[in-house]
């Protein structure tokens, strides 16, 4: 029972840490100041005719007098293949794609299957009759298959990436112990989970029972040691990911939507202009004399000064 | 002799000897007939005097020429300043302008090296580790986690470590000027990290905190522009004199009366050229004046401070200087109450004023900016001129300035003009937003100190040189004149110097020039032969 309590505590804590860390990181990036425009073309939400060749609304005469259409379909057509299949890596680094894609897609399958399992557990707690029927059985096979395939793909991908990192001269220069640890963490955790799942003794609780007991904090469940070890490692991994650069699933939203594709023009009286007006009151402290930032002058004062003509303000 | 692989820790080596040395045979091979490394130019070695006086121990060249510190204490003070600047780069008050993209890049690179394959400098150098886009960034990343985040041992284990000393800082100063800031690497990054931005931010740190920048960009660039109005040194009287001379010359040459309007209040368009055109390629502003007048456009030039020179070198190294120049441009337009600013054939001026300065130009300073590519496209396709494409019956290829295409999305207008007017037009491959930099980007085209041009032509311009050769592969004979259209002043500067370096005018009759010259060359009311087939 103590083991089970410890395991549940680890799972609950890890889930909480994961969510909190993701929120903190997201809020941190979202609250950073609006930067100067730094977009990179092609920008897929440009008008279809322009997006095809990577063009922008700057190609139109008097563009500011016309509505700038937002091509949502174009953006989705660019985003989805990137999110699901790593299209960019396929185009620009095929060798890496063959390792990175299974790793990431395996993770998607694991996350999806786990979500499905938890949904079924919840369903069976709320409406047992419905979950016990054909739908439940179908769900069982879907998440079991998804979980096994996901784990196999992720382990294969992580091992492949690990071997490549250690053997490829170009990657090795930039590989630090943390990178090796991260990949090994995935391999060991999923290895333990797979072993624990596949080699369960007779009478051991099935996945659904485990999920239900986690949801209801049923500590009477006896979980075999190999599976429990895998689950604790899994919990640790889940908590660890958002604390590292592996949280790039959050960063990528900002690098694309707030930087590469942010082509919003500033208009008089707009929200953008109001935000910049606030930044212009900041008092920087750059030390080079030509900047003239003494901590008292604002960004606007500095921008309006002309050091070449002797005026500092 | 087998060369040792460069490691990140080598940047901190105390010995003041270059980390890498390139031989012609190491470089990416060029197409025939430039394919023999033995026949390529030898690199001019740095003089002993330069090596004694300046910190030049990164590679074979020296772009910034930082004076050697006189004492250990001075070195330590410079390192302290560097650290202070590094902290400022990651603070809201000091660097709101680029904090978000910088932080995202520094904290999330997966080190997959996808970007390296896209970098023309890395490829042209024969894949030299020093020029890999992530080499520079990885040093900055490690310094960030160690000194800004104060990560300690766990951080060193998670992100890697690097020893901070003056040699490392001195090498980083130079290394920040081995990137064209073309951001082709960023375009391919699966995460969206931007190693070009890291080079940009490093340059800012050195300029804004330590007062260190390439003198061509700062002293002779933005400071001169803010002092007299133009980095060429022309004040308003000089520029008006020069334009009057150009008007006269073009009128005589074309048989069409040309007069450039100055300071016309309420004009529709304020046209701002890169003033370098006025001195180096006067036929370009002359051709603009002829075309705009013939098309019946209401336009003017401005004699206000910086109102006649669209360059903004701050874009490449200093946010304060960048903002100051952008505001001068907007002020010139505001005073004249024009409807819009049109930027002449200058790529970085396009991106600086239209894109990057967009959020700085608030209130009355927010005057619409437009590309001359669009205006010229409208004039040509709108039937406002009588044009005869057979006058341009020679092979033409089009260079895409990075600032216009990948960084601003102006891709088609210039193509529409060339397709309409040049029957023998052929594209370079790749082109458009996938183009390669000319090798002169980020200020390199105007940086000629020490032996930097050798590096610029051998390494940063090499990929473009290959593209130009490939585009004209079917007509390399010197009997066929060929036109390399580069609608950007800095790119033209790079082409002028690089084509001359390889003697490609004499050997293959490859001439470079702008877009508007092709339009005037095709105008039926103009005397034939506006484009003169002679080297300039």
What is the rounded CA–CA span in Å between residue B113 and residue B189?
9
What is the tens place of the pLDDT at every residue in B391-418?
A: 999 999 999 999 999 999 999 999 999 9
Confidence class for position A313, pLDDT limits 50, 70, 90: very low
Which residues from B are below 8 Å from A37, CB to CB?
355-356, 358-359
Q: Which of B86, B108, B149, B315 to mutate to test the interface with A (most CBs of A within 10 A)?
A: B108
Query: Under an 8 A CB cutoff, do B111 and A179 touch?
Result: yes
Structure tokens at A103: 């790793």
What is the tens place of the pLDDT at every residue in B126-154?
A: 999 999 999 999 999 999 999 999 988 88
Structure tokens at B232: 């060429």
For position A109, what pLDDT does the model report?
A: 97
Among B8, B96, B405, select the one facing A279 at the smallest CB separation: B96
ipTM score for this prediction: 0.95
Which residues from A are below 8 Å from B116, CB to CB?
170
- Whether B235 and chain A come into contact, CB under 8 Å, resolves to no
Of B362, B293, B367, nearest in space to B337 by CA: B367
Structure tokens at B491: 């790119």
Cβ-in-10-Å burial (0-12, 13-18, 19+) of B534 comes to exposed
Residue spans of the domains in chain B: they are 8-210, 219-377, 386-522
For position A220, what pLDDT does the model report?
A: 85
Q: Which of B112, B204, B307, B361 to mutate to test the interface with A (most CBs of A within 10 A)?
A: B112
Q: Nearest-5° angle of CA B85, CA B88, CA B89? A: 90
- Whether B107 and chain A come into contact, CB under 8 Å, resolves to yes
What is the tens place of the pLDDT at every residue in A273-287?
A: 999 999 999 999 999
Task: Return residues 216-245 of A near B (CB < 8 Å).
Answer: 244-245
**Which chain B residue's Cα is nearest to A86?**
B190
Among B96, B226, B409, select the one facing A309 at the smallest CB separation: B226
**How many inter-chain contacts (A to B, CB under 8 Å) are there?**
279
Query: Under an 8 A CB cutoff, do B98 and A289 touch?
Result: no
Give the burial string for B290-305 (b: 16+ CB within 10 Å, else e): bbbbbbebebbbbbbb
Give the architecture-level CATH label for domain B219-377. Answer: 3-Layer(aba) Sandwich (3.40)
Which residues from A are below 8 Å from B318, CB to CB?
291
A41: left (phi over 0), alpha (psi -120 to 50) or beta: beta
Say if residue B328's pLDDT is above 50.
yes
For position A140, what pLDDT does the model report?
A: 84
For position B498, what pLDDT does the model report?
A: 96
- Whether B5 and chain A come into contact, CB under 8 Å, resolves to yes
Contact A242, A21 (CB under 8 A): yes
For position A312, what pLDDT does the model report?
A: 52
Whether the bond between B309 and the residue before it is cis, its omega within 30 degrees of 0, is no
Compute the nearest-CA separation of B209 from chain A (Å).
5
The length of chain B is: 536
In B325-419, beta strands by DSSP E: 340-343, 369-371, 396-398
Query: Under an 8 A CB cutoff, do B85 and A309 touch?
Result: no
For position A222, what pLDDT does the model report?
A: 86
For position B172, what pLDDT does the model report?
A: 98
Confidence class for position A146, pLDDT limits 50, 70, 90: very high
Residue A287 to residues B92, B285, B352: CA-CA distances in angstroms? 16, 40, 24
What is the rounded CA–CA span in Å between residue A300 and residue B1?
56
For position A311, what pLDDT does the model report?
A: 66
Query: Under an 8 A CB cutoff, do B405 and A92 touch?
Result: no
- Whether B201 and chain A come into contact, CB under 8 Å, resolves to no
Q: What percent of chain B has pLDDT over 70?
A: 99
Confidence class for position B252, pLDDT limits 50, 70, 90: very high
- Whether B231 and chain A come into contact, CB under 8 Å, resolves to no
Residue B406 to residues A112, A260, B184: CA-CA distances in angstroms? 37, 11, 8
Say if residue B169's pLDDT is above 50.
yes
What is the tens place of the pLDDT at every residue in B463-522?
A: 999 999 999 999 999 999 999 999 999 999 999 999 999 999 999 999 999 999 999 999
Query: Under an 8 A CB cutoff, do A100 and B194 touch?
Result: no
User: What's phi and psi for B397, nearest 5 deg?
Assistant: -125, 160
Say if residue B303's pLDDT is above 50.
yes
pTM for this structure?
Answer: 0.95
DSSP letters, A91-107, are HH-HHHHHHHHHHHHHH
Confidence class for position B458, pLDDT limits 50, 70, 90: very high
For position B1, what pLDDT does the model report?
A: 45
Which residues from B are below 8 Å from A89, CB to CB?
112, 114, 190
- Whether B524 and chain A come into contact, CB under 8 Å, resolves to no
Query: Under an 8 A CB cutoff, do A59 and B81 touch?
Result: no
Q: Count CB neighbours of B430 within 10 A.
A: 12
Q: Which of B88, B340, B362, B430 to mutate to test the interface with A (most CBs of A within 10 A)?
A: B362
Query: Under an 8 A CB cutoff, do B84 and A283 touch?
Result: no
Cβ-in-10-Å burial (0-12, 13-18, 19+) of B256 comes to middle
Say which range, A84-93, A136-145, A175-184, A254-263, has the weakest mean pLDDT.
A136-145
Q: Which domains does chain A have, with CATH numbers?
A: 2-32+86-243 (1.20.950.20), 280-309 (no CATH)
Token pair 């042209």: residue: B124
Cβ-in-10-Å burial (0-12, 13-18, 19+) of B529 comes to exposed
Compute the nearest-CA separation of B475 from chain A (Å).
28
Of A60, A42, A69, nearest in space to B373 by CA: A60
Q: Name the more confident of A208 and B331.
A: B331
Alpha helices by DSSP H, listed for B211-318, are 223-228, 236-254, 275-280, 283-294
Confidence class for position A234, pLDDT limits 50, 70, 90: very high
Compute the nearest-CA separation of B106 from chain A (Å).
9
Structure tokens at B390: 């057979």
> Which residues lie closer than 8 Å to B94 by C-beta, 6 or more apart?
A282, A284, A285, A286, B88
- Tell me the pLDDT of chain A averaged across its residues: 93
Which residues from A are below 8 Å from B359, CB to CB?
34, 36-37, 266, 272-273, 276
* Over residues B261-279, mean pLDDT: 98
What residues form DSSP beta bridges with B488? none
- Tell me the pLDDT of chain B averaged across its residues: 96
What is the rounded CA–CA span in Å between residue B66 and residue B56?
8
Task: Return residues 325-364 of B near A (CB < 8 Å).
Answer: 327, 340, 354-363
For position A203, what pLDDT does the model report?
A: 83
Query: Under an 8 A CB cutoff, do A62 and B188 touch?
Result: no
Structure tokens at B431: 């082109």
Compute the nearest-CA separation of A284 from chain B (Å).
5
């Amino acid at each position: 029972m103590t083991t089970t309590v410890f395991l549940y505590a680890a799972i609950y804590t890890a889930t909480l840490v994961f969510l909190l860390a993701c929120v903190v990181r997201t809020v941190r990036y979202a609250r950073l100041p609006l930067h100067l425009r730094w977009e990179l073309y092609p920008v897929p939400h440009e008008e279809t005719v322009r997006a095809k060749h990577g063009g922008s609304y700057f190609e139109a005469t008097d563009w500011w007098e016309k509505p700038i259409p937002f091509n949502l379909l174009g953006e989705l057509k660019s985003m989805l293949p990137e999110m699901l299949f790593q299209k960019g890596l396929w185009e620009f680094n095929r060798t890496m794609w063959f390792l990175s894609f299974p790793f990431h897609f395996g993770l998607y399958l694991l996350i999806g299957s786990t979500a499905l399992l938890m949904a079924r557990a919840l369903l069976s707690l709320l409406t047992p009759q419905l979950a016990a029927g054909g739908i439940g059985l179908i769900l069982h096979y879907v998440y079991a298959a998804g979980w096994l395939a996901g784990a196999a793909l992720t382990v294969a991908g992580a091992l492949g990436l690990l071997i490549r990192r250690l053997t490829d001269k170009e990657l090795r220069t930039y590989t630090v112990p943390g990178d090796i640890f991260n990949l090994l963490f995935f391999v060991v955790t999923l290895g333990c989970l797979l072993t624990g799942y596949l080699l369960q003794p007779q009478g051991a609780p099935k996945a659904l029972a485990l999920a239900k007991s986690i949801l209801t904090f049923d500590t009477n469940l006896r979980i075999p040691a190999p599976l429990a070890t895998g689950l604790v490692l899994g919990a640790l991994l889940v908590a660890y990911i958002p604390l590292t650069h592996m949280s790039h699933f959050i960063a990528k939203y900002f690098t694309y939507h707030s930087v590469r594709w942010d082509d919003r023009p500033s208009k008089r009286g707009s929200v953008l202009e109001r935000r910049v007006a606030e930044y212009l009151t900041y008092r920087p402290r750059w030390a080079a004399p030509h900047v003239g930032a003494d901590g008292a002058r604002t960004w606007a004062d500095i921008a309006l000064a002309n050091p070449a003509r002797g005026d500092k303000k | 002799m087998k060369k040792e692989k460069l490691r990140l820790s080598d940047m901190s080596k105390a010995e003041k000897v270059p980390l890498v040395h390139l031989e012609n045979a190491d470089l990416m091979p060029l197409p025939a007939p430039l394919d023999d490394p033995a026949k390529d130019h030898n690199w001019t070695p740095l003089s002993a005097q330069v090596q004694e006086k300046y910190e030049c121990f990164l590679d074979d060249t020296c772009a910034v020429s930082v004076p050697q510190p006189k004492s250990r204490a001075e070195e330590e003070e410079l390192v302290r300043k560097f650290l202070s600047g590094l902290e400022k780069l990651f603070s809201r008050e000091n660097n709101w302008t680029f904090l978000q993209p910088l932080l995202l890049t520094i904290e999330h690179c997966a080190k997959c090296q996808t970007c390296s394959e896209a970098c023309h400098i890395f490829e042209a150098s024969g894949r030299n580790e020093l020029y890999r886009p992530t080499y520079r960034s990885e040093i900055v990343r490690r310094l960030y986690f160690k000194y800004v985040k104060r990560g300690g041992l766990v951080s060193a284990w998670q992100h890697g470590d690097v020893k901070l000393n003056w040699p490392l800082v001195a090498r980083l100063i130079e290394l920040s000027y081995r990137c064209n800031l073309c951001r082709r690497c960023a375009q391919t990054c699966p995460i969206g990290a931007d190693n070009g931005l890291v080079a940009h931010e490093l340059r800012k740190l050195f300029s804004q905190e330590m007062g260190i920048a390439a003198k061509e960009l700062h002293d002779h660039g933005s400071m001169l522009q803010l002092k007299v109005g133009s980095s060429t040194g022309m004040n308003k009287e000089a520029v008006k004199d020069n334009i009057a001379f150009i008007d006269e010359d073009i009128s005589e040459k074309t048989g069409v009366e040309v007069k450039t309007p100055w300071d016309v209040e309420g004009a529709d368009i304020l046209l701002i050229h890169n003033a370098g055109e006025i001195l180096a390629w006067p036929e370009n502003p002359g051709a603009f004046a002829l075309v705009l007048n013939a098309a019946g456009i209401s336009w003017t030039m401005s004699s206000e401070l910086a109102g006649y020179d669209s360059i903004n070198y701050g874009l490449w190294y200093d946010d304060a200087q960048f903002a100051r120049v952008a505001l001068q441009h907007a002020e010139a337009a505001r005073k004249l109450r024009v409807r819009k600013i049109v930027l002449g054939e200058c790529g970085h001026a396009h991106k600086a004023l239209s894109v990057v300065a967009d959020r700085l130009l608030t209130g009355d300073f927010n005057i619409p900016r437009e590309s001359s590519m669009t205006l010229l496209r409208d004039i040509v396709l709108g039937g406002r001129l009588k044009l005869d494409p057979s006058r341009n019956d020679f092979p033409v290829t089009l260079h895409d300035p990075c600032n216009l295409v990948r960084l601003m999305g102006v891709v088609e207008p210039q193509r529409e003009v060339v397709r309409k007017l040049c029957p023998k037009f052929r594209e370079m491959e790749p082109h458009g937003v996938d183009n390669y930099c000319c090798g002169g980007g980020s200020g390199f085209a105007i940086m000629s100190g020490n032996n930097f041009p050798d590096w610029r032509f051998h390494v940063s311009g090499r990929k473009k040189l290959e593209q130009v050769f490939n585009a004209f592969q079917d007509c390399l004979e010197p009997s066929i004149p060929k036109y390399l259209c580069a609608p950007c002043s800095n790119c033209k500067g790079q082409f002028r110097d690089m084509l001359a370096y390889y003697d490609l005018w004499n050997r293959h009759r490859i001439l470079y020039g702008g877009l508007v010259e092709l339009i005037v060359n095709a105008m039926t009311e103009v005397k034939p032969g506006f484009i003169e087939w002679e080297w300039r």
